[in-house]
Amino acid sequence: MNVLVIGATGGVGKHLLPLLADQHQVVAMARSDAQLAAFEAKGVDAVAASLEQPVSQLAAAMAGMDAVVFSAGSGGATGSDKTLLIDLDGAVKAMEAAKASGATRFLMVSAIQAHHRPNWNESLLPYYAAKHYADRELMASGLAYTIVRPALLKDEPGTGLITAAKDITSGGAIARQDVARVLAACLDTPHTQGQAFDLISGETPIPQALAAL
């Protein structure tokens, strides 16, 4: 598959690129010339585009892609305005661009319990609202979607052991590396199409956990 990774410079995206490159033709989306040059210096195919550009430009960047992985985010240092523009509108524009360009598979990195308002993190309400509605738009888009809702992300080595379920309300955390491993596995697991699930570290190897969804 030809796969475009949006959010390739982020914590999950950095782990995801080499995982996908083993099995697929991967292209990283870069929003600046500096990012584009950095990818090219590492031998990573990249295309220049920004989630704040028109849908037509995003669609041009997706030309020839079979799948899109959306792991972008505005980041904790920005305000609610950027959360709205990137995590919600940027995600929806990416969906529209995928449909316009002919990409049919769409993997979304969301947030644990984003589908269940009573369990939203009180300190991150704009972020959770953005994720909630972006996920709903994806489910209604007609794309072959998978929505992965990870818990608190950790910068530590992954274990390859997870718990994945429609609802996980017990809290928890997960390494970014393991989120990337789950995304890579979902791309090659047709069973995960049309699925949305919470994700934390656990005791089950990733292939078995996904098969049990």
Which residues are designated catalytic? 127
Per the listing, tokens 């995928």 go with 98
88 vs 131: CA distance, rounded Å: 6
Angle at 74 between CA 188 and CA 166, to 5 degrees: 45
Contact between residue 162 and residue 178 where contact means Cβ atoms under 8 Å apart: yes
186 vs 50: CA distance, rounded Å: 25
- What stretch of H or E contains 12? helix 11-21
Contact between residue 90 and residue 52 where contact means Cβ atoms under 8 Å apart: yes
Residue 130 tokens read as 């953005």
Q: Could you tell me which residues are beta bridge partners of residue 69?
A: 5, 107
Alpha helix (H) ranges present in 48-153?
Answer: 55-61, 80-82, 91-101, 125-139
Helix (H, G, I), strand (E, B) or coil at 189: coil
For residue 62, what is the DSSP state? Answer: T
Q: Could you tell me which residues are beta bridge partners of residue 5?
A: 28, 69
